[in-house]
Structure formats: C-alpha cells, structure tokens
C-alpha cells in the first residue's frame, strides 16, 4: 500500500525536487528506504511523513519526538521561527496544526509551494542569518538544519531567545566549512559557541539529549533557563 502511495506522491510532486534528487526519486521504493535505519535523508523523511507511513508504524521519523520535547520545554503556543524547514516543511506544518495560538515562521530558500501559507504559518523562501530579525520570536528551532546551525545559535544568544536544535552531520560540507577539519570539530565548535553564548547572556544551561532512539546519531540541544 505504501509503495503505491509513494509512487503517487512522487508522480504528483516530482517538480518540487532538483535534477539530482529527481534521479533518486524516480526509482525509489520502500525496501530501499528501509535500509536507512538512522539518519534518513530529509527529503525521504518528509515524503514518508506526507504519505502517512509513520502513522501506524513502530519506526519514528523523529519529528514527533522533537515536537513533544519542544512542547515540554518551551510550549508550542508561541511565536516560533523554524530554520531550514526543507523542501516540504513537514515539521513546521505539524507544529502549526498543534498551535491554538502563536505562529510558526519557516526559513529555507528551498521551501516549495507544497503547503499554502497563512498569517500563522509563514513561509520565508530565504536564508536565515545571524542578523536576521527575530524580535517577534519566542523560540528559534531547527531540525537538522545543517550549516544554518551556527546562525541559529548565534542569533539566539545575541538576542536572548530560547532555541532548540536537532543536530545533524551537515556541518562541514561545502566551501563555507573549509575552516573545520571534520564533522567532529564542527560539532564541538557548535557546542562551544552555544555554551559560551548561554553563559555570557545568562540564558541558563545547555542541555544535550541523545536522539538515538528516534533515528538520529546526533543529539538535540537547547537552553534551559534557571528558575
């Protein structure tokens, strides 16, 4: 049943993806996707969510666990900025469906027209930077936002905004990252910037939670203010 839904989704939405991704998607089936036990590429993860694959399945995409943690730590009925929402902003949309008040604004140059925006579900097809205006936000989040991780942390600590990020391997690829030797060095640098920023701005402690149970080898980080 899910292979059929997968084919239907791909046939209907193939134009959302770039040339390279289209080559992968053309021949995709569920057995191939099942090989990704952990660290499922975001494009595939979003599609499996959109076709309802995770609804009655013991596997988890990780989005739900992230949303529940966000709800516990900061609440969902806030003005939330999500950075690096992806081609299909599945996480942001799920959050939006759970909000009775507040809003979610999603930044990603790759955002497609898959969902329609509204006053409470704002799609910004642009990059997020350290100096992006976040004055209206209560919390800034990123779910495996690759190179945007540093901009989220720096912007949040500069402006004293709460943040939560599910980290990924996506730091040191591309020219911008020649500065870092490898992925570990990048990860350590992100944790260091976060810890220093929280201390300097009196924003509480850095919490680092294992995300392994939910299909990622990388942790979730966020700030916990002192009561």
Ligand X SMILES: C[S@@+](CC[C@H](N)C(=O)[O-])C[C@H]1O[C@@H](n2cnc3c(N)ncnc32)[C@H](O)[C@@H]1O
Q: Does 144 bind ligand X (CB under 6 A)?
A: yes
- Among 10, 51, 67, 151, interactor with ligand X by CB under 6 A: 151
Q: Does 85 bind ligand X (CB under 6 A)?
A: yes
For residue 170, the SS3 value is coil
Q: Are 183 and 169 in contact (CB under 8 A)?
A: yes
Taking the complex as a whole, the smallest distance from the CB of residue 37 to ligand X amounts, in Å, to 17
- Among 17, 25, 45, 165, interactor with ligand X by CB under 6 A: 45
| Nearest Cα residue to 120 out of 105, 107, 135 | 105
Taking the complex as a whole, the smallest distance from the CB of residue 151 to ligand X amounts, in Å, to 5
- Neighbouring CB atoms inside 10 A of 80's CB total 25
Strands (E), the chain: 79-83, 103-107, 121-124, 139-143, 162-166, 205-209, 220-224
Comparison of 15 and 202: residue with beta carbon closer to ligand X: 15
Q: Which residue is associated with the tokens 């289209």?
A: 22
| Nearest Cα residue to 69 out of 91, 90, 88, 50 | 91
Taking the complex as a whole, the smallest distance from the CB of residue 7 to ligand X amounts, in Å, to 21
Comparison of 82 and 162: residue with beta carbon closer to ligand X: 82
Q: Does 130 bind ligand X (CB under 6 A)?
A: no
Taking the complex as a whole, the smallest distance from the CB of residue 88 to ligand X amounts, in Å, to 8
- Among 108, 163, 171, 186, interactor with ligand X by CB under 6 A: 108
Q: Does 84 bind ligand X (CB under 6 A)?
A: yes
d(CA 84, CA 69): 19
Main-chain dihedrals φ then ψ at residue 224, nearest 5 degrees: -120, 110
Q: Does 203 bind ligand X (CB under 6 A)?
A: no
| Nearest Cα residue to 117 out of 106, 133, 102 | 106
Q: Does 83 bind ligand X (CB under 6 A)?
A: yes
d(CA 197, CA 204): 10
Comparison of 42 and 162: residue with beta carbon closer to ligand X: 42
Q: Does 42 bind ligand X (CB under 6 A)?
A: yes
Comparison of 114 and 204: residue with beta carbon closer to ligand X: 114
Binding site for ligand X (CB under 6 A): 42, 45-46, 83-86, 90-91, 107-110, 127-128, 143-148, 151, 168, 170
């Amino acid at each position: 049943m899910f292979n059929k839904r997968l084919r239907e989704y791909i046939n209907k939405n193939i134009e959302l993806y770039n040339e390279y991704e289209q080559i992968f998607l053309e021949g995709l089936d569920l057995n191939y996707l099942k090989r990704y036990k952990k660290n499922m590429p975001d494009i595939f993860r979003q599609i499996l969510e959109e076709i309802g694959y995770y609804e009655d399945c013991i596997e988890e995409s990780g989005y739900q666990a992230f949303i529940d943690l966000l709800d516990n730590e900061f609440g969902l009925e806030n003005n939330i900025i999500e950075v690096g929402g992806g081609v299909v902003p599945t996480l942001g949309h799920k959050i939006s469906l759970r909000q009775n008040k507040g809003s979610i604004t999603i930044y990603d140059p790759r955002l497609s027209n898959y969902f329609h925006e509204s006053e409470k579900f704002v799609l910004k097809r642009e990059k997020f930077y350290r100096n992006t205006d976040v004055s209206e936000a209560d919390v800034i989040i990123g779910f495996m936002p690759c190179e945007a991780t540093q901009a989220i942390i720096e912007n949040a600590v500069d402006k004293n905004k709460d943040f939560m990020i599910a980290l990924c391997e996506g730091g040191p690829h591309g020219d911008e990252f020649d500065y870092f030797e490898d992925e570990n060095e990048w990860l350590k640098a992100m944790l260091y910037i976060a810890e220093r920023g929280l201390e300097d701005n009196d924003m509480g402690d850095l919490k680092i939670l294992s995300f392994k149970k939910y299909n990622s080898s990388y942790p979730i980080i966020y700030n916990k203010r002192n009561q």
